[in-house]
Amino acid sequence: MRRRNFLQTALGAAGLTMAQREAVANLIEGTPKRVGLIGTGWYGKIDLLRLIQVAPVEVVSLCDVDSAMLNEAADIVASRQLSGRRPRLYADYRQMLAERDLDIVLIATPDHWHALPMIEAVRSGADVYVQKPTAIDVVESQAMLTAARKYQRVVQVGTQRRSTPHLIEARDRVVREGLLGQVAHAEVCCYYHMRANGNPPVIPPPATLDYEMWVGPAPMTEFCGWQHPRRWRAFMEYSNGIIGDMCVHMYDMVRWMLGLGWPKRISSTGGILVQKESRANTPDTQHAVFEHDDINVVWTHRSWGSPPDPEYPWAAFLYGDKGTLKLDVHKYEFIPRGKGETLRGSAVYEYDKYPEDETEKDLERHVASAVRGHMLDLLANIASRGRPVADIEQGHISSASCMLANIALKLHRTLAWDPDAHRVIGDEEANRLLARAYRQPWVHPTPDSV
């Protein structure tokens, strides 16, 4: 009884309703869910270890194309899960999913490897947690949504700002209370110097890495040490650049807070304007405008120079006629116009409940509570067969919008988007860029093929 009461308190802090709390409690007290992870790198371990913290799951399978990374993750999982068992190890996700014995599959691969494993996972009968952005191109992402609905699986996307305690508080305390008044403009930005720069030489891939499989359906590039691990976002072959990495989080948060759907028009300017000597081919500067009915959401990133507001280098700003709300992963601040109270909140750390957070290697400690909340929301909707807070449809909208911004940047023109037809209106050149060619023998998924 004490355990259930503690669990109910934790679920309440995660923003779940009473019905959801009861559903998760019943789920957790039942037979442990069998879990597999595809992609055992940095965020794969962060996601999986947060799930282990909130539910007595049994991690039975791990998959990675780097055998050293895979074995390290297996040792960590064995030391952290209740059974102490070492998971089965796979180098090919298809072999792992062919076992058809997993209840939940987590996918934390580079962007170009999200779609095919996710589609195969839902076909195998698993519910899925997939990292953002949903895919590498718009048609991949659309096919993922179609597959989730066709196979009636619950799919949560790793846009965990929707489950971040202090941001939930800001939404409820400021936005829903109407303190902003009419909101007609929002800005989202990232000024981190996060773009890889330099010209590393071509080198052989590590002996532990199956580089052919790592590249998979994407274009082959000469290995220079950036592709793996963690610097693959230097290349548009394997990512959607900084906009697909950082904008998708903040734009998705703004849509969630303000109840926005698809943008009607998307434009973008920028390119490689300063850091021109690098092997990286992602934009070092990008400005994008997502036009909604009564509000524009404007994105800016620069991987050089200084941020306009040093306190909020990766952030969102909601401008209302009654005040301004500043939001990031560490804090929020509401500043009223004229008289009124300035409101503040900050990230939640839960070291008293999860002391291992303090020593876990490479953990983003300020984000741990958000990932736990996201996992609890996933579990609640697995129990109810409902739609999680970052359902695949919401992840698709935010991710595909960023992909469309990249297409607008490439074509140097504004795109008018028809979300029902999933086409750019009157622009066949843009529509041809909604799906990119796959490297043989891999076959690009489409909504009709899943």
pLDDT tier at 18 (50, 70, 90 boundaries)?
A: confident
CB–CB of 118/147 below 8 Å?
Answer: yes
pLDDT tier at 431 (50, 70, 90 boundaries)?
A: very high
Q: If we measure between CA atoms, which residue out of 126, 217, 215 comes closest to residue 442?
A: 217
The 10 Å Cβ neighbour count of residue 385 is: 11
| Helix, strand, coil in percent for the chain, rounding step 5 | 40, 20, 45
In angstroms, the Cα distances linking 440 to 70, 96, 110, 269, 329 are 26, 22, 19, 33, 40
As a whole number of Å, the CA-based R_g of the chain is: 21
Residues in the chain: 450
Mean pLDDT along residues 424-443: 98
Question: What are the boundaries of each domain within the chain?
Answer: 2-160+366-391, 163-356+395-432
The 10 Å Cβ neighbour count of residue 299 is: 28
| CA 14 centroid distance within chain | 18
* Token digits of residue 320: 């209302």
Cα–Cα distance for residue pair 256/347, rounded to 1 Å: 18
* Token digits of residue 217: 């359906």
DSSP state of 355: G
Task: Say whether 153 sits in a helix, a strand or coil.
Answer: coil
Amino acid 22: pLDDT: 75
Interval 119-147: pLDDT, tens: 999 999 999 999 999 999 999 999 999 99
Task: Say whether 13 sits in a helix, a strand or coil.
Answer: helix
The 10 Å Cβ neighbour count of residue 223 is: 18
Interval 294-351: pLDDT, tens: 999 999 999 999 999 999 999 999 999 999 999 999 999 999 998 889 999 999 999 9
Cα–Cα distance for residue pair 384/371, rounded to 1 Å: 20
The more confidently predicted of residues 175 and 21 is 175
Specify burial of residue 75 (Cβ count, 10 A radius: 0-12, 13-18, 19+).
exposed
pLDDT tier at 4 (50, 70, 90 boundaries)?
A: low
Mean pLDDT along residues 370-374: 98
Interval 156-172: pLDDT, tens: 999 999 999 999 999 99
Specify burial of residue 30 (Cβ count, 10 A radius: 0-12, 13-18, 19+).
exposed
The 10 Å Cβ neighbour count of residue 411 is: 15
Mean pLDDT along residues 200-228: 98
Q: Is the pLDDT of residue 442 over 90?
A: yes
- Residue entry with tokens 């900050």: 346
Percent of the chain with pLDDT over 90: 92
Amino acid 1: pLDDT: 40
Interval 84-110: pLDDT, tens: 999 999 999 999 999 999 999 999 999
Interval 74-86: pLDDT, tens: 999 999 999 999 9
pLDDT tier at 9 (50, 70, 90 boundaries)?
A: low
| Fold type of domain 2-160+366-391 | Rossmann fold (3.40.50)
* Token digits of residue 191: 């000024």
Q: Is the pLDDT of residue 57 over 80?
A: yes
Cα–Cα distance for residue pair 323/333, rounded to 1 Å: 10
* Token digits of residue 310: 């040093």
Amino acid 266: pLDDT: 98
Q: Is the pLDDT of residue 2 over 50?
A: no
Amino acid 6: pLDDT: 47
Q: Is the pLDDT of residue 7 over 90?
A: no
Cα–Cα distance for residue pair 376/10, rounded to 1 Å: 9
Considering the segment(s) 163-356+395-432 as one domain, its CATH architecture is 2-Layer Sandwich (3.30)
Interval 24-47: pLDDT, tens: 777 777 789 999 999 999 999 999
